[in-house]
Amino acid sequence: MAQRLHLVFGGELVDPTKTVFKNIDDIHIVGMYPDYKSAYDAWRSEAQRTVDDAHTRYFIAHLHRLRDEEAAASATEELGN
């Protein structure tokens, strides 16, 4: 069974109606989680901690959706031909 990894991250946005970070060097990486429930709990904790700052947002990235283990890898991914 494939792992279903999730990344929780966030930081200050340029505009609270957009998803552009003010400074990518200041992005807070909360952590990597093996399932959505764990990631959601971490996201919720950070979102509640920063609720008074309208420019700060946290996100859950579904890393398992970025990779299809059945599909052939690209040449650049494998650093091959």
Is residue 57, in this structure, part of any structural domain at all?
Answer: yes
With respect to residue 54, please indicate whether it lies within any of the assigned structural domains. Answer: yes
Tens digits of residue pLDDT in 12-25: 999 999 999 999 99
Domain-located, residue 55: yes
Is the model more confident about 2 or about 3? Answer: 3
Amino acid identity, position 39: A
46, HSE (Cβ side, Cα atoms, 13 Å): 21
Within a domain: residue 1? Answer: yes
Write the single-letter amino acid at 3.
Q
**Domain containing 2: what range?**
1-15+44-70
The predicted-structure confidence for 24-71, as pLDDT tens digits, reads as follows 999 999 999 999 999 999 999 999 999 999 999 999 999 888 776 666
Provide the edge-to-edge strand list for the sheet that holds 28-33: 28-33, 6-12, 56-62
> In the predicted model, is pLDDT for residue 81 greater than 50?
no
Residues 6 or more apart from 65 whose CB is under 8 A from it?
A: none
Residue 39 maps to a domain: no
Task: Report yes or no on 28 lying in a domain.
Answer: no
In a domain, 33, yes or no: no
Tell me, yes or no, whether 62 lies in a domain: yes
The total of structural domains in the chain comes to 1
